[in-house]
Structure 1
Amino acid sequence: MGSEESSLLTVTVDSRRDAERRATGAANEAPETIDRFVVLDVLGSGAMGIVYAAWDPQLDRRVALKVVRPGKGGGDAESRLVREAQGMARLSHPNVVSVFDVGAHAGGVWIAMEFVAGETLHARIGEGGLDWRERLELYRQAGEGLCAAHEAGLVHRDFKPENVLIGAQGRVRVADFGLVRPSDQGAETLPDPIRGDELLAHARVSESGERDPEFGALQTMAASTRSLGLASGSGMSARLTMDEAWLGTPRFMSPEQFQRMPADARSDQFSFCVALYHALYEEWPFQAEGGGFFELAAAVTLGSAPTLPSHTAIPPQIGAALLRGLAREPEDRFPDMRALLDALELAPPQRRRWPWLLASLGGAMAAAALTAWVVGSPAPEPVDPCSRGEAEVARSWGEAQRAQLAARFEGLDIGFGASSLEAIDEGVRAWSQDWAGAYRETCETRHEQSDLRYDMRMNCLAEQRAEVDGLIALFSMADEDLVRDAPDLVSELPAADACETLEGRRAVEPPRADQLDVVHEVRGRLARVRARLAAAELDGLDTELELLGAEVEVADYEPLLAELDYLRGVHAMKTKDVSTAQDWLLAAHGRALALGQDRLAMTAARDLVLEDGAVPGDEGQELARRWHAVTAALERRIDGGPEDEVERRYAYGRAMLRQMRFEPARGELSRAAELAAEVHGPHSLVTARIEVALGTAYGEGGKYEPGEQILARAIDTYERRLGPDHPLLIGPLLSRTTLHTGAGQLDAALADAKRAQRIDAASYTDGGPRAENILHHLALVHDLRGDYERAAANFEAMLARRGELQRPSSVNGMTLANSLCFSLYKLDRLDEAEAVCARSLELAPEVLGDGHPITAIVLNNLALIARARGDFEAGLELDRKALGYVEDRLGADHFYIAYSLVGVAEGLLGLGRADEAVPVLERAWQLRQEQRDPGEQGEVECLLGQALIDSGQDRERGRALEREAAVKLRAAGPNWNSHAEACDARVAGH
């Protein structure tokens, strides 16, 4: 039967071992504790040791505890176990069984190892049902474990399928490094090499033995075998240890091991190829006539080179690779295991490593760390496998990729290509450094985390790198718009430390072994779609998503469906299809929550803050509030980092800003900006982007001074990072244009709008995507400066360009229509103005929802038109309705209320009810004091003075207010000329 010790780490104990254990009484010998470990069960026993299932209270996990059997082996056994601990503890790799600790016990040595619930590779292959590709894939994972050992300077020397474990989740691990030694240390003192004639002679002597019916191994007489160092009772699949002269298991031993020469990594390569040859072709590469040990030794060391079966479906390049690995002379084999694994690869090299992680979009993710407590003499300094993270990201971004992007950007003949490239380089390099650091930290703490957590973290890092690779690939094909947006995109690269907070992924079932390839392929496609969505490269993306849907169905792995649903939702967001976005995001959230994909569920909920928050009115506000609460709860459940809080608060603040709830918007955005400055730096583009929204929230809420300061800080950051002429400055400049306009600073507003227009003209041949927005801002400024004809023409042209001239169908369209209405009113084209505003009012419930503040402004404009025609009653009714809308929506103290209050007061004054107008205007006057616009202040003061005089309540104060108002209105600019003239006339009449 096969070596008992070679199977000691197999946790799934088969019936034969149970029988052996009962026969030897091993189960009754188990102590309650060993050192700090609580013994749970006996897993297996051998001639020199026994393995227990135990609980480690220090690591808070179940372990496999291997100890020397008391009274057996003495010092040799102890030194051997120490050597095993040295070898395995130095390896930290997903395809190697981990060693956690080593210590002394009752004169012996114990080793605490990873507890692997599963079966051996030998048993898995023996069950049948696997095609050759699946068998090759299992061995390829085992090969990765050997490769990691070799890179760490270690040789296994007893590789065989019985020493390879497959965990319950399908991950393959190489185990039982009992014969391992540093690769550059000399071999232990061994008997002289066996000459060929001696082997043949011993083969003749051995014919008197009997065969093991299961393994075909020769059972020789004790006297004969001891002279050769072969233990009595062993077979061709039994291991020969050092004190038995040969090192290894005969069926898998290399020629140099049979000859008792030093074994190296190429010896492991030979053993690996023997095992894989048998797994693929179901026959042994070396046929030993008679089936005995010495016949096998002669066949391996002296016989003919192996050949391949004549009829097989296995590709010839696979067979050729195996034959090279089975070469008699080590120098004729592959130079190392990596070269062999490459030769066995049927797919591109990027897919060869860590199939368990590749199932979730991984690159090569090897990890092996030196462990400080390793006992024994110091080993040679190995290659640091934890440095592979640096190598991985270096392949993603370096001088070659930068040069490729530089050539692409120069070919576009745009003025901002160089500054965008600098931002890309800076952003990706910073991300690469963080990612490599997270990789190293994960690698070096391999022993401090469970297998599942380790796999999830490496999986997460692999997904992130794939997404970044996809974005870099898009940059290499970028158009003008993508080059413009590139600095923002690289400022939003996935945070590597998010992979440390993976509690929400614990419940996610990994793909089955037969799903690995298709899951890997689909996730690769999903990563490319994510990159395209981030870059707003939407052409043909709907078709690609449909095709992906069919592939996800074939994959039959539900977590992929949640990921696809989410990307469909993001695509709908990008195409402004709000209802479709809401449906897909809700589906993704629910499915992800059910499957344990808590981070995905959180991300979908965060997007729903904005999408459901876009629903007009109180319903949208309540939906945004609820989704914000859900996002916060999931953020807490996954132990999210500050980056998650930044994004959550930014989303909720923007939702409140859309709803014109300026106070909660300012609160959320202020906290988001503070956190962003701490996490990303005060002069990062992430911080600046949030500050633009925050400054807007202050400005639209009538708090112009703090808003202007915040926007100035954001614009300064963009200029520092990208230069003074980058098109990403256009958005912040237009935000400040709006703020200056509200504050009555029309010259400053015009300067910012014209600067934005100059940047746009210099950046794009035919005008960029913000050209219309720039025209809108210029039109507003022209209107306020009294150039109503130009303003009206611009508003009308923009509506026509949007296809909303006859029927506004969006918030922006309604805003433009309202602006056109007001410009026409000021041109005294009252019928045209009324038609535009009446159409907007009719559509407002459908487009804006009930009681929206924009609807209130439409009502105010219609009241202006009514008063211009002398219909003060109709105007008063319209203004009172508008006042109710803004009070209900914005609260009693919002500065927007002043517009409706002024309208109500003008109606009352027109009707001769000055005494009723006084309290209305007093309230409006208080609200206007917080604004710096002299025109708006002067308007209220002149009207209040008139009401105080006409009602007889306080003529002296009334005259003083009128005089002060006239000064302010004359200083307010052309837009207030008519008001200034009317107020001057009243002052002169005193």
Structure 2
Amino acid sequence: MTDRAYADTLALSRTAVAEDRITPAPHDLTDAPLEPGHLLGRYIILERLGAGGMGVVYAAFDPGLDRKVALKLLGRPDEAPEGASLGPGARLLREAKALARLAHPNVVAVHDAGQIDGRVFVAMEFVPGVTLRHYLSQRTLHWRDILALFVAAGRGLQAAHAAGLIHRDFKPENVLVGDDGRVRVLDFGLARASVSEDSGILEQVLKASSDSASARERPPDGSGADFLLGSLVSVDSRLTRVGALIGTPAYMAPEQYMGLETSARSDQFSFCVSLWEAIHGAHPFGDGGAMALLQAISRGKLRAVPRDRRTPTWLTRALARGLAVDPLARWPDVGALLDVLERRALRSRRARAAGAAGLALGLLLGAGVWGYVRSDSRDQLCRDGALGLVGAWDPARRAEVHAALATTGRAHARATADRVVATLDAYAAAWAAGHADACRATHVRHEQSPELLDLRMTCLGERRRELAALTDLFVQTGPEVVDRALQAAAALTPVRRCSDPAALIAPAAPPDDPAARAQLQAVRQQLAEAKALFDAGRLPDGLARAEEAAAEAERVAHPPTQAEALYILGLLQNRAAEPRTAGATLTRAALVATASKLDELAARAMVELIACVGVYQTDTDQALRWSDLAGAMVQRLGPEGQVVEAKRLGHTGIVRQIRGEFAGARELHERALDLLDRPDQPDASALIGTLSNLGNTLSDLGLHAEAEASHRRAVALAEEFFGPDHPQTAALANNLGAALADTGRDDEAAALHERSLAIKERTYGPNHLSVAASLRNIAHIRLRQGALGEAQAILRRALAIRERTLGPDHPELAELLHDLGEVARRERRFPAAQALFRRALQLAEPAGLGNPHVLPLLLGLGQTALDAGDPVAAREPLRRALAAEPPGQAPARPHVSARLRLALAEALWIDPSLRAEARALAEQGRDMLSASASFVALHGDLEAWLSGHVLK
């Protein structure tokens, strides 16, 4: 039923007002529905959901992005030739373009739009749910709950206006309440990027009404508009058919009838009509039929508020201002109206008297907390708890956070601010619901002891402290925080853990001594701040705060707090390039957490040790032992441990990749994907990372089509989660570009790398380390294409960035020096190449032979000597490179290892006593590549060498 309701919303008939001229619905779509399984472009039809004047809506599957979509389909009518700017086809494309420009949690997302077989289509996110009208019709809600719904929708409308778009058809049928509780505005089929295209609904009606008498009447509010009223007596029937008057004109602003200039304030009028009707149960201008309604709207004649409706007078006054006939007399914009509604609702004496903290929170959340608040007097005691979030997440803090993030100057700032606010809205909603449930379990349902209530409230207090620390950080810091703000918001400790009695009872109780308790609270405050700094990427500040907290926790002698302090300190040490110190800290954290019966914390510490030891220290054997221990600990967590298990599998998969065990790595990443890619585990950031890791592994296996699909899905999800201009999206586009380059599609790869580079330069400026990474990718493509001079210039710019940022002796300079050495070698500037390779080795070798840069550098030295005609000199660096490979493991980069063996074979062959060894090396290199479809050219080189170098 929810799918059908959604389809009815998308396909809503509105032929009388949808365009500058009236166009009948195309008959071919409704007469010949597509059958399930039909392939329309890349979309697989699942079922037909509904039809209307705007076309037909199907549920479809998009295999490219591996998700279900709502596909609105419209054929090109005979009278609207291809390329026409009028008609439903052009209108539908305008709708898609308008929505595609928006990135807001309260606006339905558009994924794709275009034409297939002469039919215009729009692919939108499939959101099971019902229209706002249907939702309201099925419930008896308090006015505060209704207001929460509309404020959410209003924020979506506000986002559209900020993007320069006018909806022109806002009404309850064009608002969806999803099963996930989120409110979304949809159906921007009347949206315009400017007001110049509006022609006026009443004008076209008048043209169809021949010589009807007319009279001019000036509105009573003194606006300068003249309204034609007399001709309404002979209104054409088109205005009142199929839900026209009830469905659309009833919500239109006066200027929209008259063909005057429409603006965002026209949407404000429609919003206020809809909210008034929902709050008061009747249209604000009466129910007297078409003629009476239109006259009342044009005169601004509001009906009296029903006496049986107990709503505050400030709400009625606020809506009345938005319903003014003169647009200039309305609120300056929808955002100003919404701010007033939120602020007054929070301060309302009636709300406080009724214990309506849940409503105030619901308003500030904008995503619907209305469900858990009831007016039942039995639980009156439990409804004030949401006020506990004041200062951490209330309307004032919400506005501060949004403004702080949106005004940082980053290209993605506003979109990130919207997403962060929506994420924190949902978190605060869960907190409020958890607080109310904890209270009711003891005081209303009498199923929980006061002692357990105290534990749950203490846990909720910790979550509030964490939320407050993060929002403080957002408000107080500079633009760099916005780049990781969304990840930080998503990393807040889930509130649901405060509902797990077993987890709450297991740890040791806090000390009884008041002074010790106060000291413990101070430590926990430091930990909340350190975690916020870590999640936001402020590593030096976070490390200093975590060190203070860990030292204090040691003195307090409360093992659960000590374990958490060690864990957060270990995280920061690991990310701050102190892996050996981090390993010791995280090991202590795992041991103390295990002793304290904190199974989840122990498992998380062990999972972090997999990366700390296996990735940052390349001790893969030790890392795999930690993975086994973490796996055993995760089993004790049950279903709640799925996210931790997915992270364990992902980290272990990367370790397997380092060992060259690509098939095993693929299996681990796919298992992690199975755990994360489900509705009950909506961890978008982890899902995106897993898809990217899987794509990299598939590339290593030579499965390029599968790798490309995985990377493309990661990019698509990142564009939804982070936004198209976010640097994280840019990084994932880089990975996709690398996958395309592996298949020789250099032009497509270069376009992705250049897009990524442009995002990073806009975000960070031209001299950021991340910019250098994109420059290197572009240089590699130019190097393969033989544009050596261009590649050299790009690499020199990247090297200058790293030298300026990291210093002239940093190991990360080695890979760029290697690339410049390759350019010099191919240009046959052998002394310059040797100098570049040797300088790079001086930087890389102190880290040990396990440094991944050492082997390519030694290979470069050997290859340069061979090219210069000195095979004897080539042997020493090539043998050193061979010795640098980990014994007993498959090579991490088989093409590098195979090329090394070919080069060493060439260097040895001139000595007859070494020819058997040379041929054996070449055979090893060939066998390394035989299991892969990649590196065909290198495989051919090895086969050719072996054919020409036969032992006698």
TM score, norm. by length of structure 1: 0.52
Does the Cα contact within 8 Å between 1:851 and 1:889 map onto a contact in 2?
Answer: no
Which residue in 1 is equivalent to 2:468?
469
Q: Which amino acid aligns with 2:487?
A: D
CA drift at 1:529:
2.0
**SS of corresponding position for 1:770:** helix
Q: Which amino acid aligns with 1:895?
A: P
Change (3 A) 1:808 1:734: farther
> Structure 1 stretches of 5 or more lacking a match?
1-334, 340-348, 350-367, 371-378, 954-990
CA drift at 1:386:
4.7
Q: Which amino acid aligns with 1:459?
A: T
Does the Cα contact within 8 Å between 1:894 and 1:927 map onto a contact in 2?
Answer: no
Separation of aligned partners in 1, 2:703 and 2:878: 24
Change (3 A) 1:939 1:380: closer
- 2:669 matched to 1:673? no
Change (3 A) 1:942 1:588: closer
For each residue in 1:409-450, what CA deviation from the matched residue of structure 2 results, as whole angstroms up to 9, or x when unmatched?
Answer: 343233212210221133223333444444455455555566
- 2:729 matched to 1:733? no
CA drift at 1:952:
10
CA drift at 1:497:
3.0
- 2:407 matched to 1:411? yes
**SS of corresponding position for 2:833:** helix
Which residue in 1 is equivalent to 2:713?
713
CA drift at 1:756:
0.7
Q: Which amino acid aligns with 1:671?
A: R
Q: How does 1:940-959 map to 2 (within 5 A)?
A: 940-942=939-941, 944-945=943-944, 947-948=946-947, 951=950
Which residue in 2 is equivalent to 1:152?
none
Q: Which amino acid aligns with 1:672?
A: A
Does the Cα contact within 8 Å between 1:760 and 1:767 map onto a contact in 2?
Answer: no
Q: Which amino acid aligns with 2:572?
A: H
Separation of aligned partners in 2, 1:549 and 1:908: 58
Q: Which amino acid aligns with 1:573?
A: N
Q: Which amino acid aligns with 2:570?
A: G
CA drift at 1:491:
2.6
- 2:638 matched to 1:603? no
**SS of corresponding position for 2:511:** coil
Separation of aligned partners in 1, 2:910 and 2:451: 77
Does the Cα contact within 8 Å between 1:914 and 1:948 map onto a contact in 2?
Answer: no
Separation of aligned partners in 1, 2:544 and 2:951: 74
Q: Which amino acid aligns with 1:753?
A: H
Separation of aligned partners in 2, 1:607 and 1:565: 12
- 2:422 matched to 1:423? no
Does the Cα contact within 8 Å between 1:808 and 1:814 map onto a contact in 2?
Answer: no
Which residue in 1 is equivalent to 2:643?
643
Does the Cα contact within 8 Å between 1:504 and 1:637 map onto a contact in 2?
Answer: no
- 2:726 matched to 1:698? no
**SS of corresponding position for 1:888:** coil
- 2:577 matched to 1:587? no
Q: Which amino acid aligns with 1:424?
A: V
Which residue in 1 is equivalent to 2:633?
634
Change (3 A) 1:724 1:600: closer
Separation of aligned partners in 1, 2:700 and 2:819: 16
Change (3 A) 1:682 1:794: same
Which residue in 2 is equivalent to 1:763?
763
User: Which stretch shifts more, 404-413 or 447-456?
Assistant: 447-456
CA drift at 1:825:
1.8
Change (3 A) 1:949 1:604: closer
CA drift at 1:716:
0.8
Separation of aligned partners in 1, 2:860 and 2:771: 27
CA drift at 1:471:
1.2
CA drift at 1:577:
2.1
Separation of aligned partners in 2, 1:524 and 1:568: 14
Q: How does 1:894-909 map to 2 (within 5 A)?
A: 895-896=894-895, 897-907=897-907
CA drift at 1:863:
1.9
Separation of aligned partners in 2, 1:672 and 1:385: 43
Separation of aligned partners in 2, 1:731 and 1:824: 29
Change (3 A) 1:643 1:597: same
User: Which stretch shifts more, 685-694 or 416-425?
Assistant: 685-694
Change (3 A) 1:702 1:549: same
Separation of aligned partners in 2, 1:651 and 1:859: 29
Task: Give the CA RMSD over aligned residues.
Answer: 4.0
Separation of aligned partners in 1, 2:608 and 2:679: 21
Q: How does 1:34-433 map to 2 (within 5 A)?
A: 381-387=377-383, 392=388, 396-397=392-393, 399-433=395-429
Separation of aligned partners in 2, 1:868 and 1:769: 33
CA drift at 1:732:
0.4
CA drift at 1:759:
1.4
Tell which structure's C-alpha radius of gyration is larger.
1
Change (3 A) 1:557 1:917: closer
Separation of aligned partners in 2, 1:889 and 1:839: 30
Which residue in 2 is equivalent to 1:312?
none
Change (3 A) 1:838 1:616: farther
Change (3 A) 1:457 1:759: same
User: Which stretch shifts more, 862-871 or 902-911?
Assistant: 902-911
Q: Which amino acid aligns with 2:750?
A: L
Does the Cα contact within 8 Å between 1:572 and 1:581 map onto a contact in 2?
Answer: yes
Does the Cα contact within 8 Å between 1:645 and 1:672 map onto a contact in 2?
Answer: yes
Q: Which amino acid aligns with 2:602?
A: A
Separation of aligned partners in 1, 2:597 and 2:702: 45
Change (3 A) 1:436 1:417: same
For each residue in 1:170-216, what CA deviation from the matched residue of structure 2 results, as whole angstroms up to 9, or x when unmatched?
Answer: xxxxxxxxxxxxxxxxxxxxxxxxxxxxxxxxxxxxxxxxxxxxxxx
**SS of corresponding position for 2:476:** coil
CA drift at 1:559:
4.0
Separation of aligned partners in 1, 2:426 and 2:631: 28
**SS of corresponding position for 1:938:** helix
Separation of aligned partners in 2, 1:712 and 1:502: 42
For each residue in 1:320-374, what CA deviation from the matched residue of structure 2 results, as whole angstroms up to 9, or x when unmatched?
Answer: xxxxxxxxxxxxxxx9xx99xxxxxxxxx9xxxxxxxxxxxxxxxxxx999xxxx
Change (3 A) 1:540 1:764: closer
Separation of aligned partners in 2, 1:792 and 1:543: 41
Q: Which amino acid aligns with 2:613?
A: D
Which residue in 2 is equivalent to 1:212?
none
Which residue in 2 is equivalent to 1:976?
none
For each residue in 1:874-906, what CA deviation from the matched residue of structure 2 results, as whole angstroms up to 9, or x when unmatched?
Answer: 535654554565473642796333222332443
Does the Cα contact within 8 Å between 2:813 and 2:840 map onto a contact in 1?
Answer: no
CA drift at 1:949:
5.1
Does the Cα contact within 8 Å between 2:567 and 2:589 map onto a contact in 1?
Answer: yes
Which residue in 2 is equivalent to 1:483?
482
Q: How does 1:558-569 map to 2 (within 5 A)?
A: 558-569=559-570
TM score, norm. by length of structure 2: 0.54
CA drift at 1:711:
0.6
User: Which stretch shifts more, 709-718 or 505-514?
Assistant: 505-514
Q: Which amino acid aligns with 1:760?
A: K
Separation of aligned partners in 2, 1:755 and 1:892: 33
Which residue in 2 is equivalent to 1:343?
none
Change (3 A) 1:793 1:502: farther
For each residue in 1:773-817, what CA deviation from the matched residue of structure 2 results, as whole angstroms up to 9, or x when unmatched?
Answer: 22222222222222334434544554454459997654x444333
Q: Which amino acid aligns with 1:784?
A: R
Which residue in 2 is equivalent to 1:526?
527
**SS of corresponding position for 1:604:** helix
Separation of aligned partners in 2, 1:661 and 1:460: 42
CA drift at 1:712:
0.5
CA drift at 1:546:
5.4
Change (3 A) 1:666 1:942: closer
Change (3 A) 1:643 1:443: farther
> Structure 2 stretches of 5 or more lacking a match?
1-348, 358-371
Separation of aligned partners in 2, 1:471 and 1:380: 34
Change (3 A) 1:486 1:815: same
**SS of corresponding position for 1:781:** helix
Change (3 A) 1:794 1:872: same
Does the Cα contact within 8 Å between 1:669 and 1:690 map onto a contact in 2?
Answer: yes
